[in-house]
Amino acid sequence: MPDLLIELFSEEIPARMQARAADDLRRLMTDALVEAGLTYAGARAFSTPRRLTLSVHGLPAESPTTREERKGPRVDAPEKAIEGFCRGAGVAREDLEIRDEKKGQVWFATITRPGRPAAEIVAGELERIIRHFPWPKSMRWGAGSLRWVRPLHAILCILTDDEGERQVVEMEVDGIRAGAATRGHRFMVPEPFSVASFDDYEAKLKRARVVLDAGERQAAIWQEATNQAFAAGLEVVEDRGLLSEVAGLVEWPVVLMGRIDEAFLGLPPEVLQTSMKEHQKFFSVKNPKTGRIERFVTVANVETADHGATILAGNQKVLAARLSDAKFFWENDLRTVREKGLEGMAEGLASVTFHNKLGSQADRVERIAALAREIAPLVGAEADLAERAAKVAKADLQSEMVGEFPELQGLMGRYYAEAQGLRAEVAAACEEHYSPLGPGDAVPSAPVSVAVALADKIDTLTGFWAIDEKPTGSKDPYALRRAALGVIRIAMDGNHRLPLDRFIDAQLLRQKITLNRHEASGDEIDTLEEILDEIAHRGVFGAAFRAVLDRLHARDGAPDTANGSLIHKVGEIMPDLSDDLLAFLHDRLKVHLRDEGLRHDVIDACLAMPGNDDLTLLVHRARALGAFLSTEDGENLLQGFKRANNILRQAEEKDGVEYSFGADVKFAETDEERALFAALDTAEPRIAAALEAEDFAAAMTAMAALRAPIDAFFDAVQVNVDAAVIRRNRLNLLSRIRHICLQAADLTRVEG
């Protein structure tokens, strides 16, 4: 059972591509081997800056001989059909055999494929994989035709049997012949050396100053960095992404800790950390008592006689130049804030295009500020404060620091707001209104931050809906799914009761005003703004639209709503846009709740109820319904409801009437009927009161009490009897069941 060792040795592979490339090599090679009949016991892939390595152990020496029986045409088929079958099967006519089938005699061919040596299979498959390797980017060099991420220099490919006998796999790719030799560290041990097995290869590489396993390199870097920081009474700022990247830049990690010049220690720690990470790939080292970044850790790829002193001196010199730039940006920005305030800094947003169809960043800020003011009372924020925070939240986009480090937007806004002396709530909103940025990111909880964050995300969604730039399939260039999930998480985590219909309508209308301000007439814009004001009182666009038009009609005669007018266009498209965006939010909510175990049909049953734009109310209802339906009472009541609804629906279709009124206990003939009347009389006010209080758990509990009398009714009573009065009364009784059950959720949408 030989083991296979492959190494593809090249110039430096970009760190971001290494792990994926190693996994691709393992997957492609093992899939190819299995397809060719070579099973294996295990496989491991490795990467360093200069090599991709694959070790496969437990391969058979050769693939097995296989036999396949293939059914052909009937014996009396045309001669050309039989000849074609022979060619396709690769057999001679005389090798065919005849077998009796139900429909007559049929030709059969037995195809034998002899096994092949493992080395032959490996050679062919590895050459194909190398020539078609899925690098994100690749290059050609010299006169060859091979494409690789960087120039490929050597291929190591050997098979080693149980006795330790080594066989070099004979193959060649673009003039590069496979062999049994590799090289160690580029600078410290550059001479080639031969290997006999994977264990021999790994051990010799380590002696040649190459750590093959990226995980081992990461662990060594982190261990040494934290040890050095601890010895100085400091802590390394954890950054797993940077650790992975740095481990992909070195084959022999040498950890060095340097000092940051005193002149730069007054910079915000995030500025120091970002500058060192982005420009130098340095880890930040902080003082745990003060939180200040005071030192850095760099990882060299070579050991030096002076123990890294020269390397550190060079790094510190380059770092000083980088931090001088950051300090210059910081001081300039603070000067602007002192002289003009964040409002003055934000003035430049008027010349920054947010989107060529959605106006400038300044237009966007005005819309967000207006919406934040409307949202504020519902999330416990002061309206004036929320509006003020929204007006300065994007100001740092005009700062020099954010121009250099875009990832610091929001955070720098907080620093500048604090420097200006703005209230803490405003400063916090500058940073937090972007949150959450991902599934693991915390949502804002401070009321002003919540108001601005919701307004920001709703404005983003309504803007791109207004210009018909919605996500399609896997494409979402404007991160609208993330914005929708942000709205959902903020509402749910804070238990905020938000009439999203109203806010969506208001912001969609603001988007339309922005889009048409320069082309529409003044009267049209005035009318739209009057409708916008009315939405706050009427709740949704439709009622506000009709109220304003009625008012205009009474005052000035019929307003211009003819086809082609802006008012007509807005009136036509706004309801559809609003409904479509709300449906998008509902779809994202379903995805979000899937991990809770809430079924989509349960959510759909709750979506059919009034108030479904209040996501918190919707989720409370869905959770209560889901919990109820998971019980025996809930499942049985659902079946009872469906039975009642089916009988009732069929009768209504047959009779052409709706049975929805008039059930009277005096026409009840059985004890089970009378018991059901009594149960409904008891449950109905309880359910109504619970729903009025939005206590859905209590409503479901009251509904559960109906399970037994409904079951007993259907066991003992026939609904469709000959007596018309009794039949009508029983159908109206079923209508009461339907009406009561549908008050909690639309159970017709629940499966089962």
Q: Provide CB contacts within 8 A for 568, sequence distance 6+.
A: 560, 561, 562
The predicted pLDDT at position 449 comes to 98
Range from 103-112, 587-596, 714-723 carrying the lowest mean pLDDT: 103-112
> Angle, to 10 degrees, between the axis of helix 424-432 and the axis of helix 447-466?
40
> Given a cut of 70, is residue 563 above it in pLDDT?
no
CA distance 607 to 624: 14
CA distance 210 to 229: 25
For the chain, domains (ranges, CATH) are 3-62+117-207 (no CATH), 67-113 (no CATH), 214-303 (no CATH), 615-749 (1.10.730)
Token representation of residue 728: 């009508």
CA–CA distances in Å: residue 379 to residues 88, 435, 437, 453, 621: 73, 16, 20, 11, 21
The predicted pLDDT at position 173 comes to 95
Range from 448-457, 519-528, 720-729 carrying the lowest mean pLDDT: 519-528
**Contact criterion met (CB below 8 Å) for 246 and 299:** yes
What is the biggest distance separating any 2 CA atoms in the chain, rounded to whole angstroms? 108
**Contact criterion met (CB below 8 Å) for 254 and 185:** no
Strands 166-168, 235-236: pairing kind? unpaired
CA–CA distances in Å: residue 524 to residues 364, 514, 520, 541: 21, 13, 6, 16
Token representation of residue 254: 């040498």
pLDDT band (50, 70, 90) for residue 494 = very high
Range from 208-222, 257-271, 554-568 carrying the lowest mean pLDDT: 554-568
pLDDT tens digit sequence for 334-345? 999 999 999 999
Q: Provide CB contacts within 8 A for 9, sequence distance 6+.
A: 50, 51, 152, 153, 154, 155, 156, 182, 183
Instruction: Give me the half-sphere count of Cα atoms (radius 13 Å) on the Cβ side of residue 536.
Output: 13
Looking at the DSSP bridge assignments, the partners of residue 359 are: 355
What is the secondary structure of 372-433 as a DSSP string? HHHHGGGGT--HHHHHHHHHHTTGGGGSHHHHH-GGGTTHHHHHHHHHHT--HHHHHHHHHT
Range from 190-194, 430-434, 562-566 carrying the lowest mean pLDDT: 562-566
Indicate the burial class of 154 (C-beta count within 10 angstroms; 0-12, 13-18, 19 or more).
middle
Strands 152-160, 176-179: pairing kind? parallel
**Contact criterion met (CB below 8 Å) for 750 and 741:** no
> Given a cut of 90, is residue 216 above it in pLDDT?
yes
pLDDT tens digit sequence for 6-47? 999 999 999 999 999 999 999 999 999 998 889 999 999 999
The predicted pLDDT at position 680 comes to 95
Strands 172-173, 51-57: pairing kind? unpaired
pLDDT band (50, 70, 90) for residue 518 = confident
The predicted pLDDT at position 559 comes to 61
pLDDT tens digit sequence for 469-486? 999 888 999 999 999 999
Mean pLDDT of 343-354: 94
> Given a cut of 80, is residue 710 above it in pLDDT?
yes
Interior angle at CA 545, CA 457 and CA 459, nearest 5: 10
In this prediction the pTM is: 0.84
Token representation of residue 339: 């002289």
Work out the number of other CB atoms within 10 angstroms of the CB of residue 595.
8
For tokens 């120091």, what's the residue? 272
pLDDT band (50, 70, 90) for residue 361 = very high
Helix (H, G, I), strand (E, B) or coil at 188: coil
- Nearest CA to 357 out of 459, 434, 468, 522 is that of 468
The predicted pLDDT at position 68 comes to 80
CA–CA distances in Å: residue 199 to residues 4, 160, 164, 221: 12, 11, 11, 23
**Contact criterion met (CB below 8 Å) for 243 and 281:** no
Number of helical H runs and strand E runs in the chain: 26, 18
pLDDT tens digit sequence for 76-126? 888 888 889 988 888 888 888 888 887 789 888 888 778 889 999 999 999
> Given a cut of 80, is residue 629 above it in pLDDT?
yes
The predicted pLDDT at position 532 comes to 92
The predicted pLDDT at position 557 comes to 65
Q: What is the mean pLDDT of the chain?
A: 93
CA distance 314 to 409: 31
**Contact criterion met (CB below 8 Å) for 330 and 271:** yes
The more confident residue out of 108 and 327 is 327
The predicted pLDDT at position 213 comes to 97
Looking at the DSSP bridge assignments, the partners of residue 256 are: 298
CA–CA distances in Å: residue 328 to residues 270, 288, 321, 345: 16, 27, 11, 17
pLDDT band (50, 70, 90) for residue 393 = very high
pLDDT band (50, 70, 90) for residue 57 = very high
pLDDT band (50, 70, 90) for residue 49 = very high
How long, in residues, is the chain? 752
Token representation of residue 722: 């000959």
CA distance 266 to 615: 45
> Angle, to 10 degrees, between the axis of helix 566-593 and the axis of helix 522-538?
40
